[in-house]
Structure 1
């Protein structure tokens, strides 16, 4: 096969794939997120038993935060809610303290 023809074929395949992905994304076909609705309402830590943080990636274009309530279903929380930013900051601080304990 002619090298120029091979390069042209590969280029066309890559362009075609990119166009298909753009069309899927524009049509909302990247709906593989677990959360379709989010709440920004404050939920007291005593009301949930666990927090699941799913980083953005793959088909979901946003970070997802899912709280498992002690009484009731799981709830998706807006990661940009001010109170949730504080919770995430506190979790990060706790994680860092456990990873690098300070000698006292």
Structure 2
């Protein structure tokens, strides 16, 4: 009987550890590393882009990251130094100002 209780407690502890590990970091919206490994410089027509997220550099990543979500759902990391991306970021920032 003692063996069954020990095994049950061990399984519950492992399940809790697995669930709590899965909830940390990404699911809470806090990435602890760069999200973009490779960036795209080619022009993407604005009509294909559904959303753009701008992540400033910080302790999680030394680079500014620009992530575009296409209307198809695909996410693409854009090169923040590309001229067309700079123009797009400036336009987004202008629209956010009151």
Q: Which TM-score band (shorter chain)?
A: 0.5 to 0.7
Question: Size of the alignment, in residue pairs?
Answer: 67
Q: Which residue of 1 aligns with 2:88?
A: 87
Tell me the TM-score normalized by structure 2. 0.64
Q: Which residue of 2 aligns with 1:61?
A: 62
User: Post-superposition, which runs of at least 4 consecutive aligned residues in structure 1 deviate over 2 A?
Assistant: none
Stretches of structure 1 that go unaligned for 5 or more consecutive residues are: 1-30, 100-104
Q: Which residue of 2 aligns with 1:14?
A: none
Q: Which residue of 1 aligns with 2:38?
A: 37
Q: Which residue of 2 aligns with 1:17?
A: none
1:13-52 to structure 2, matched below 5 A, reads 32-52=33-53
Shift of residue 72, structure 1, vs aligned partner = 4.6
Stretches of structure 2 that go unaligned for 5 or more consecutive residues are: 1-31
For the aligned residue pairs, the C-alpha RMSD in angstroms reads: 1.4
